[in-house]
Amino acid sequence: MNRIYFDNAATTSLDPQVLEAMMPYLTEKFGNPSSIYSYGRESRLAVENARKSVAKILNAHPAEIFFTSGGTESSNTVITAAVRDLGCTHIISSPIEHHATLHTVEFLKNKGEAELSYVKVLPNGHIDMEDLEQLLASHEGKTLVSLMHANNEIGNMLDIHAVGKLCKLYGAIFHSDTVQTVGHFPFDLRNTPVHFITGAGHKFHGPKGVGLLYINENVRITPYIHGGSQERNMRAGTENLYGIVGFAKALEIATAAFEKESAYIGTLKLYMMDELKKNIKGVAFNGDPLGRSLYTVLSVSFPKTEKSEMILFNLDISNICASGGSACTSGADQGSHVIRAVNNNPNQVTVRFSFSKYNTKDEVDTVVEKLKEMI
């Protein structure tokens, strides 16, 4: 039986074209990019071409693009640097951030390195902009604002320009975790008031183990991982050559097909919403699914019954892959911190469905059909 994979916010399958682009660097082109002979030079060229390509797509300068081991490393790096290198004494974040952000800001707070405030989240999952401005205005020292561009569980999207402008007004440093949006939306970083963004290859049909860190040219930070002059002294460690090549290729493919694919995937999401509303009584949606929201993520709340409590288990039995929250916390019992922040209705069971270009309407039909039996 064919599996249906509706968990693309957790990770995506590698595009075969990306693997093809990576293959030479998994085999004959294996040189260490720091070596000066031909094997090394061809590797160095591949890394720098990847950087240029990524920079061009995001409309950034190649010198602003750094490759890391993933989104988690990127977020850890810049949040820590904002405090230790840029002198931020206050962090504003939100309770619905990814744990890579939350655990890092909490760590800094617990160490006494920075004060921490959480901006209010509105019932529709968006950030309360007035509260954000108040928090910015009420603190004397330099502030880091760390707010994700799109939420991985409910799909809400931040108005990155509006937040960036506010940060500018108050002289704050602005980091946006863009792991769910890089490779899914166009970026124009030269005209976006943000200091740091992050990305992960495996969220847009690229490889795992490679990430992006954009550092605006106007800020200077020191490395997080020390030893070796890779990434222009910003990130030590032998470059994940094939991963970097794959990251760039995946971003190129995603960008070239953006309009077509975003429209297609968005249709799937809307179609699933409609079908669920038609077929399942009492179904509700978290966040702002028809407003500023990822076209890839649909967070659904089902009325809680004895049967529906087993919904994830039953979905799995039916070969349908979805998730209760983010993958990183899916083993934990305490439930999703994001859902708790936006929807504290104890009589609902939440499931996240997240789509990719490889999903179809037929799959949605099958899933809705199965869901009807499970509720």
Partner 1 sequence: MLKLPIYLDNNATTPMDPRVLEAMLPYFTEKFGNAASRNHPFGWEGEEAVDYAREQVAKLIGADPKEIIFTSGATEGDNLAIKGVYEMYASKGNHIITAVTEHKAVLDACKHIEKLGGEVTYLEVKPDGLIDLAQLEAAIKPTTVLIAIMYANNEVGVIQPVKEISAIAKKHGVLFFTDGTQAVGKIPVNVNKDGIDLMAFSGHKMYGPKGVGAIYVRRKNPRVKVTAQMDGGGHERGMRSGTLNVPGIVGLGKACELCMLEMEADTKRISAMRDKLENALLKLEEAYVNGSKEHRLPHVSNISFKYVEGEGLMMGFNKNIAVSSGSACTSASLEPSYVLKALGLGDDLAHSSLRFGLGRFTTEEQIDYTIEQVSKTVLKLREMSPLWEMYKEGIDLNTIEWAHH
Can residue 239 be called a binding residue for partner 1 (CB under 8 A)?
yes
In whole angstroms, how close is the CB of 330 to partner 1 at the nearest point?
4
Encoding tokens for residue 326?
């983010």
From candidates 117, 146, 178, 240, binder to partner 1 by CB under 8 A: 240
Decide whether 35 or 345 has the Cβ nearer to partner 1. 35
Q: Which of residues 53-72 bind partner 1 (CB under 8 A)?
A: 68-72
Can residue 200 be called a binding residue for partner 1 (CB under 8 A)?
yes
Can residue 331 be called a binding residue for partner 1 (CB under 8 A)?
yes
Can residue 37 be called a binding residue for partner 1 (CB under 8 A)?
yes
Can residue 99 be called a binding residue for partner 1 (CB under 8 A)?
yes
In whole angstroms, how close is the CB of 341 to partner 1 at the nearest point?
17
Can residue 112 be called a binding residue for partner 1 (CB under 8 A)?
no
Can residue 193 be called a binding residue for partner 1 (CB under 8 A)?
no
Can residue 129 be called a binding residue for partner 1 (CB under 8 A)?
no
Can residue 328 be called a binding residue for partner 1 (CB under 8 A)?
yes
Decide whether 89 or 314 has the Cβ nearer to partner 1. 314
From candidates 59, 238, 345, 360, binder to partner 1 by CB under 8 A: 238
Cα 294-123-170 angle, rounded to 5 deg: 80
In whole angstroms, how close is the CB of 77 to partner 1 at the nearest point?
9
Of 88, 167, 321, 328, which is the active-site residue? Answer: 328
Burial of 223 (0-12, 13-18, 19+ CB in 10 A): buried
Can residue 309 be called a binding residue for partner 1 (CB under 8 A)?
no
In whole angstroms, how close is the CB of 278 to partner 1 at the nearest point?
25
CA torsion sign for 42, 44, 47, 51 is: negative
Decide whether 126 or 149 has the Cβ nearer to partner 1. 149
Can residue 225 be called a binding residue for partner 1 (CB under 8 A)?
yes
In whole angstroms, how close is the CB of 198 to partner 1 at the nearest point?
11
In whole angstroms, how close is the CB of 329 to partner 1 at the nearest point?
6
Can residue 354 be called a binding residue for partner 1 (CB under 8 A)?
no
Can residue 168 be called a binding residue for partner 1 (CB under 8 A)?
no
The C-alpha torsion from 360 through 361 and 366 to 369, rounded to 10°, is 160
Can residue 358 be called a binding residue for partner 1 (CB under 8 A)?
no
Decide whether 56 or 208 has the Cβ nearer to partner 1. 208
**328 assigned to active site:** yes
Q: Which of residues 140-159 bind partner 1 (CB under 8 A)?
A: none
Q: What value does the CA radius of gyration of the chain take, rounded to a whole number of Å?
A: 21
Can residue 207 be called a binding residue for partner 1 (CB under 8 A)?
yes
From candidates 53, 93, 94, 104, binder to partner 1 by CB under 8 A: 104
From candidates 176, 262, 329, 343, binder to partner 1 by CB under 8 A: 329
**What number of helices (H) and strands (E) belong to the chain?**
12, 12
Decide whether 52 or 103 has the Cβ nearer to partner 1. 103
Supply the residues annotated as catalytic: 328
